[in-house]
Amino acid sequence: MRATLAPLLLGLALAAVSHPAVAGRLAGGAGSRPLALDRLTELAANHLALAGIGFLIVAGLGIALGIAATRPGFARLRGGIDALAAFAQSLPPVVVVALALPVLGFGGPPTLLALLAYGLMPTLRGTVGALDAVSPEARAAAEAIGLTRRQILTKVEIPLAAPGLIETLRTALILSISVAAVGALAGASTLGTPIVAGLQNQNLSGLLQGTAATAALAFLGDALLLAVGGFLTRD
Amino acid sequence: MTSAPFGVRAVLLPLAAALALPLVLGSLPLLHLAPNRLVTGAPIPVAAALGPWLWPLLALAATGPALVASGRGRAGAWFGLLACTGGFALLLTGLGAGAAELLVGQPPAARARLAAGAWLAGLGLCAGIFLGMRASRLPAAGWLSALVLLTLIGGLGAAGTLDAFSLTVEFRARRDGLARAILEHLALSSGALIIAGLVTAALGLWRRGRGAIDLFVGGVQVVPAVALLGGLVAVASAGLALMPALRAYGVSALGAGPALVGMAAYLLLPLWRGLQGALRTPDPATLDAARALGLTPRQTLASLRLPLGAGLLIGGLRVAAVQALGLATLAPLVGAGGLGRLVFDGMAQFAPDLILLGALPVIALSLAAESALSAVEAAARRRWPS
């Protein structure tokens, strides 16, 4: 549980920095117009909703496809998956958001598409890597005692691969929160909005609030998944 | 399932490959005709967009991918490759002719824009060319297909076939700006890469602090890029407000400075992991042997640890380079230049072709960096197998 403490404390500290009273004092000055607390919570709720939906899609699809790709019948797809993952990672989220803009319009949809394009392949590859790390002896032993394929998956492979799967989910969650912030450029109303607006009209405290709140969400989400992982993989 | 003669591999995959592109061509719009560069415009039906080129294109777009997917040896892959290449050329020629015809009698501001169907079909044919080259075991399939595609596009462009596309018009208008943006993009990415490399090398010398460095470089990754860049600007502005004298030394809260620092901070993780992995590669017995031979730590590093870990080190560099090229797209957010400037201008004006003009080079540069450095990585692993 000690590993969760650092991101948890950092997240709470950053959340405190994003409070209008604190941010107004830190970034005091002529152009300082801190966002009111209810506006900030509204943006944070939007951010969480967008990142949460994206995370569920990416994690669900990525892990399901990763499990499918490690089944014996699909072994020959591995090379293709790696090439596709490398290709998808070379598309920066901003570029996907920008390209989807004329087709999908402003707001959430281009952001979700960017998240899917950028986050799916790392999740898939992480799942494949975690399942590959399960020792063949464990699999052979499970087969020898007469478990069915489904039982081997749910009772042997997934529990043994759990640490790697949690790592994969952490990456997916951080990507989701990060891409939701980029979505502000496409007009999605997230915590990236005060950052972009603050850079454009020199509103330092708004900029600081958006920055601190986005980072706080990322650290708190990371702490949550680390705690879940620690709970699941305890002996 | 894979061994059955009429299993997935033998029938379903080629069938799906044969149907995919004709379906895309038939169901999605290929061109949009817009009254000016800022609106999406009206979709043009496929028959009007392609005219007489439709049926030959459909035939090639069905046979090429099917032959490549069927996996019937090198000859099949060759024919599939040829059909895909022909299909790509036909697609461009047909759409170019169709677009030119659409613009006849229109006001000069009117634009013919490539639509979703054209992009998807083009991507599918490119994938067919690449996979066909791999299946017919041509060397360096990635570079060779890039060469073929660039030659095709360049040749058709020089012949004026592509002149009617809105993207070409936008390219003509911004040719100088585009060249400068590409250079700025490369300068920003390589600058951040060099800074991150130097910092990583310096951190590598600090033995005691390894745990703290691990925490720090991992923690930076958690902060979203938009937030990190914004935060750097906020911190730099606050610092300048406290010490206005710094302005005299050229320190500024906006511009290339914060962009480089922010990008470099993200690149630390892949480089640091690569370095740590590389240093840990030789097993303890080898290191003992080196010590017994009387090698100094410096000699051990130069002749043992770095060569044996070269693959991991270059792997880290590859990930960092691709990330740098992507992150540089965000740099205009804090007032630095690069290809992102075109993307952001396009988003602000809602001009799709301007977005594409900035985005396509970013994608091309990332893919080039990825494949070049993975080739170097593979060569290093062959040269010094660990």
Q: What is the ipTM of this complex?
A: 0.78
Counting residues of chain A whose pLDDT is more than 70, the rounded percentage is 94
In a domain, B70, yes or no: yes
B164 and B181 housed in the same domain? no
| Residue B4 confidence (pLDDT) above 50 | no
pLDDT of A52 reads 92
Identify any residues that bridge with B257 across adjacent strands, giving them in sequence order: none
Q: What's the number of domains chain A is made of? A: 1
Instruction: Find the mean pLDDT for residues B317-340.
Output: 88
pLDDT of B188 reads 93
On whether any CB of chain B is under 8 Å from the CB of A174, the answer is yes
On whether any CB of chain B is under 8 Å from the CB of A173, the answer is no
Alpha-carbon gap: B297 to the closest alpha carbon of chain A (Å): 34
| Residue B1 confidence (pLDDT) above 70 | no
B112 and B224 housed in the same domain? no
- Domain, as residue range, for B99: 8-173
On whether any CB of chain B is under 8 Å from the CB of A92, the answer is yes
Token pair 């060397």 is found at: B139
B188 and B336 housed in the same domain? yes
| Residue A178 confidence (pLDDT) above 50 | yes
Domain boundary among B121, B151, B173: B173
Domain boundary among B173, B195, B210: B173
**Residue B3 — very low, low, confident or very high, per pLDDT cuts 50/70/90?**
very low
Cβ–Cβ of B227/A192 closer than 8 Å? yes
B121 and B231 housed in the same domain? no
In a domain, B316, yes or no: yes
- Domain, as residue range, for A23: 2-28+36-232
Domain boundary among B133, B149, B173: B173
Instruction: Find the mean pLDDT for residues A161-165.
Output: 86
| Residue B304 confidence (pLDDT) above 80 | no
Instruction: Give B327's contacts in chain A (Cβ within 8 Å).
Output: 92
Q: Are B271 and B319 in contact (CB under 8 A)?
A: no
In a domain, B1, yes or no: no
B201 and B121 housed in the same domain? no
In a domain, B187, yes or no: yes
pLDDT of B312 reads 83
Helix or strand (DSSP H, E) at B42: strand B42-44
B90 and B120 housed in the same domain? yes
Mean pLDDT of chain A: 82
Phi, psi of A36 (to 5 degrees): -65, 155
Q: Are A123 and B373 in contact (CB under 8 A)?
A: no
Q: Are B69 and B133 in contact (CB under 8 A)?
A: no
In a domain, B59, yes or no: yes
Give the CA distances from residue A200 to residues A95, B232, B233, B347, in Å, rounded to whole numbers and listed in that order. 20, 15, 12, 15
The enclosing domain of B302 has a CATH number of 1.10.3720.10
A78-87, B27-36, B75-84, B318-327: range with lowest mean pLDDT = A78-87
In a domain, B3, yes or no: no
Alpha-carbon gap: A161 to the closest alpha carbon of chain B (Å): 22
**Residue B210 — very low, low, confident or very high, per pLDDT cuts 50/70/90?**
confident
Question: Nearest-CA neighbor of B233 among B153, B331, B321?
Answer: B331
In a domain, B2, yes or no: no
Q: What's the number of domains chain B is made of? A: 2
Phi, psi of A159 (to 5 degrees): -60, -40
B213 and B356 housed in the same domain? yes
The enclosing domain of A192 has a CATH number of 1.10.3720.10
Cβ–Cβ of A178/B329 closer than 8 Å? no
On whether any CB of chain B is under 8 Å from the CB of A232, the answer is no
| Residue B231 confidence (pLDDT) above 50 | yes
Task: Count Cβ–Cβ pairs < 8 Å, chain A vs chain B.
Answer: 138
| Residue A124 confidence (pLDDT) above 80 | yes
B154 and B253 housed in the same domain? no
Instruction: Give A207's contacts in chain B (Cβ within 8 Å).
Output: 230-231, 233-234
Cβ–Cβ of A92/B222 closer than 8 Å? no
